[in-house]
Amino acid sequence: EADIYQTPRYLVIGTGKKITLECSQTMGHDKMYWYQQDPGMELHLIHYSYGVNSTEKGDLSSESTVSRIRTEHFPLTLESARPSHTSQYLCASSDRPGTGSNTEAFFGQGTRLTVV
């Protein structure tokens, strides 16, 4: 079982509120990712990190921001939530390809965000 955790699992919040989605992993992985997934649809990368103090925007434009102060922690923040932010957010982590058998990404259980 993957040691990557996301909280909360479900969040319903009003427009204009600031929210932080938490993601933590205990596998010591350098790389961490945030994907956005609408119901029944593919995943789109919105943020990634190579390691501490390294963050980059992904393919899908997002108004969210991320930080990576500790290896194990990669929170995502929305300063002012809007209904268009309603989606599922999946956090993942991985080791570098070629460092062993761990070439896949491990996923958290996701946070389903609804902004009303």
Partner 1 sequence: AQTVTQSQPEMSVQEAETVTLSCTYDTSESDYYLFWYKQPPSRQMILVIRQEAYKQQNATENRFSVNFQKAAKSFSLKISDSQLGDAAMYFCAYRSPFGNEKLTFGTGTRLTIIP
Question: Applying CB under 8 A, which of residues 26, 80, 109, 114 lies at the interface with partner 1?
Answer: 109
Least distance between partner 1 and beta carbon 47 (Å)? 10
The order of strands in the sheet holding 76-78 is 4-7, 19-25, 76-78, 65-66
Question: Applying CB under 8 A, which of residues 40, 61, 84, 116 lies at the interface with partner 1?
Answer: 40
Name all contacts of 66-70 with Cβ < 8 Å and 24+ positions apart: 66/34, 68/32
Residue 105 touching partner 1 (CB under 8 A): yes
In the complex with partner 1, the residue whose CB is nearer, 65 or 107, is: 107
Question: Applying CB under 8 A, which of residues 23, 66, 81, 90 lies at the interface with partner 1?
Answer: 90
Question: Strand runs (DSSP E) across the chain, as ranges?
Answer: 4-7, 10-13, 19-25, 31-37, 43-51, 54-57, 65-66, 76-78, 87-94, 105-107, 111-115
Residue 79 touching partner 1 (CB under 8 A): no
Residue 114 touching partner 1 (CB under 8 A): no
For partner 1, the binding residues (CB under 8 A) are 2, 31, 33, 40-43, 45, 48, 50, 56, 58-59, 90, 92, 94, 96-98, 103-110
